[in-house]
Structure 1
Amino acid sequence: MDYTHHGQKRVKPSAEIEKFRKEKEATKIKEYKNLVASCFQKRDKKEFDKDALALTTKILSQNPDFYSIWNFRRLILLEGILKECSEEDTRKTLSTELDFLQEIFQLNRKSYWIFNHRRWCLETMQNPDWNMELQLIGKFLEIDARNFHAWGYRRYVTSKLSHATETSLIQIEFDFTTTKINQNFSNYSAWHQRSKLLPLLIKEKNLNEQEKKKLIDKEFELVKAAFYTDPDDQSAWLYHWWLVNGQDSTISMSLSEKSKESSSILNQDLSIITSERIELLQHEISMVRELLELEPNSKWCLQTLANLLIELKRISETNIEENSKIDDEVITICDRLIKIDKFRTKRFEDLRSKIISAKSLVKPVSQELE
């Protein structure tokens, strides 16, 4: 029977061709099972030789996520092949191992086990080439900029390289995230990496309050550009909420660092930080409301506005009427989200119910005076 696939007419394989395909597949499965059986026999007999290594190579070249085989391969190298090797021969063997790993990365660039074995090789080797590793992982992120395995490995490599060269890579890596984010705002891993680097960058540069504010303002501009490009993408909204919450913890001056000073000065700092935070929240609320006029059904926009309003109410010394207005707006937002985001209806119903219950316990000033 004819059918179409991507606009191309195709013909269903004949019974004879299908039979041949299944027989070929069955032969491959049988060969694979025999390889695994032979490998486990070697392991049980503790035969850590080159034949055992060759068996693991054949298996992992077909199935790079077979973690038991990776464990056996490391035993073969440690207890057999590398046991009596000179430093030079050890390096050659592990370099060959790295080449093998680079080949099978083509099968799965998101394999925990390949990355794990590569780390082991590098840490077993004397003076590994961390610059080469950084170049390699850079190529991975050119192919797939959102590969979180590669991002995690990049953090590992830059940490090792920075330690080996006694050189800070914070600014370089921060700029790298900027490049990747500008290429595609929808990159959770790049935003996450940025959140790790930003506090380190502020600390390393020893920025004063004015310089720090200028840097943070640029971050808010970056996420704003992401919102207007794709308001339905979650990654930038998460980074934005981290920025908002980071203002009085990770990014701003930590209160614990001021604990040695007198209580009066500490209270003064608390007042300043609260005042700045209220100003920040009000600014971001205005920005989100502007975006909502263009994207009235953006669930992330609505959720962020609700979160900002709730936080503003929490830290502001507003009166009952002002609090009531905030509650009413959040309830309205919940009503809209219940209709828009069907998968999270119960979450918004719960929030709405809690706000209504809390409102019923608070009497307006006019009622208290009666």
Structure 2
Amino acid sequence: MHGRVKVRTSEEQQLLKQKEQQKKLIAYRLGMKQILQSRKPDSYDPECLGICAQLLIINPDIYTLWNYRKEVVLLEIKTSNKDEDGEEKLCTFLENELKLTEQCLLANPKSYSSWHHRYWVLVHHPKANWKKEFDLCTKYLSMDDRNFHCWDYRRLILNKVGISLEDEIKFSTDRININFSNYSSWHYRSTILNQENLHDELKLVQNALFTDPADSSAWFYLRWVLSHSNVLKEDKEELLGSLEQLLELEPNCKWIVIAKCWLMKNIYENTDNSIQNQVNCYTRLKELDKMREGYYLDCQKTVVDDSETKE
């Protein structure tokens, strides 16, 4: 009727979407064909380099195109060694490469290829600004502290900047205190931590456990801490007592029961009391976590079999 806006049906919308996708696919194939045909060991086509950038901004995970750009960068480095002002031109070229990776990371902040290319470019940059890169990581992590690609990148450039491990551990602690449910930050912490004294680590992770017992990230980090021989027996015993208190508050939390098994085996080895307590824990876990009932049954049998073997 007159005066009414026509609303497309879902079928029409689907057809339009398919047509758009088809156009993009054709453009992508043409672009890739042109780039690959122009690929030479001793020169490159600037127009194809521009097409390559457009394709990567749309989809930054085409590693073939990043490899093409690396070949071009190496050609630029070779050329710069022959010119008087070659270094200045090279720096400008490489800065444009870094800008491209920034655009790609805006499209997909978790693109392996984009982060890898950015680091590779900086390694070949005659005047790399590593401090700026470090600040960029801090900015990205303030927006999304679960971006493990950025955490890994930060670890790569840590030694380039000269930041002390103490400062970096403090940064990690601040991010964890903001969000305990952060596998990436916990993992990053495990890669930089001085493992001589883990007393404070147990306190930190215990705080996270009591804040949100159902969150698995801190429990996994706890297991990593307990795997080190530097953890004192009295600290483990104190933690076991704390878990008993937490279990009274959260009787249906499987993670508490699992951690009790870790600790009892770690502290008391295969004493009769410890074996029976572990068997009881696995019996409880079979009730709490039906999906893994068979796994807990196997664990239970292993505890009993190991004790009989040692006898």
1:108–1:361 Cα change, 3 Å? closer
TM-score by structure 2 length? 0.88
Task: Answer yes or no: is the 8 Å Cα contact 1:331–1:355 preserved in 2.
Answer: yes
Rg bigger for which structure? 1
Identify the residue that residue 343 of structure 1 maps to in structure 2: 291
Identify the residue that residue 146 of structure 1 maps to in structure 2: 146
Letter in 2 for 1:135: D
1:306 aligns with 2:261: yes
The 3-state SS of whatever aligns with 1:182 is helix
| Greater RCO (CA < 8 Å, at least 6 residues apart) | 2
1:57 aligns with 2:57: no
TM-score by structure 1 length? 0.75
Task: Answer yes or no: is the 8 Å Cα contact 2:146–2:182 preserved in 1.
Answer: yes
Superposition map of 1:153-302 within 5 A: 153-162=153-162, 168-199=163-194, 212=197, 216-246=198-228, 248-249=229-230, 276-277=232-233, 279-302=234-257
1:186-210 Cα deviation digits (max 9, x unpaired): 112212222233317x6xxxxxxxx
1:354 aligns with 2:267: no
The 3-state SS of whatever aligns with 1:173 is helix
1:30 aligns with 2:12: no
Count how many residue pairs are aligned between Structure 1 and Structure 2: 300
Report deviation, 1:299: 1.4
Task: Answer yes or no: is the 8 Å Cα contact 1:52–1:76 preserved in 2.
Answer: no
Letter in 2 for 1:37: K
CA distance in 2, matches of 1:119, 1:225: 36
Identify the residue that residue 66 of structure 2 maps to in structure 1: 70
Task: Answer yes or no: is the 8 Å Cα contact 2:91–2:127 preserved in 1.
Answer: no
Report deviation, 1:65: 0.4
> Which segment drifts farther, 44-53 or 115-124?
44-53
Letter in 2 for 1:68: T
Letter in 1 for 2:107: L
1:74-108 Cα deviation digits (max 9, x unpaired): 112222x4432301110111011111111111111
1:52-75 Cα deviation digits (max 9, x unpaired): 211211211111100011101111
Letter in 1 for 2:9: P
1:14–1:108 Cα change, 3 Å? closer
Report deviation, 1:48: 1.4
- What is the root-mean-square deviation in Å for CA atoms of aligned residues? 2.3
Letter in 2 for 1:312: I
Letter in 2 for 1:347: Y
Report deviation, 1:143: 1.3
Identify the residue that residue 133 of structure 2 maps to in structure 1: 133
1:164-221 Cα deviation digits (max 9, x unpaired): xxxx521110110011000000112212222233317x6xxxxxxxxx5xxx443222
1:27–1:229 Cα change, 3 Å? same
1:193–1:28 Cα change, 3 Å? closer
The 3-state SS of whatever aligns with 2:39 is helix
1:334 aligns with 2:271: no
CA distance in 2, matches of 1:346, 1:330: 16
Report deviation, 1:146: 1.0
Task: Answer yes or no: is the 8 Å Cα contact 1:48–1:77 preserved in 2.
Answer: no
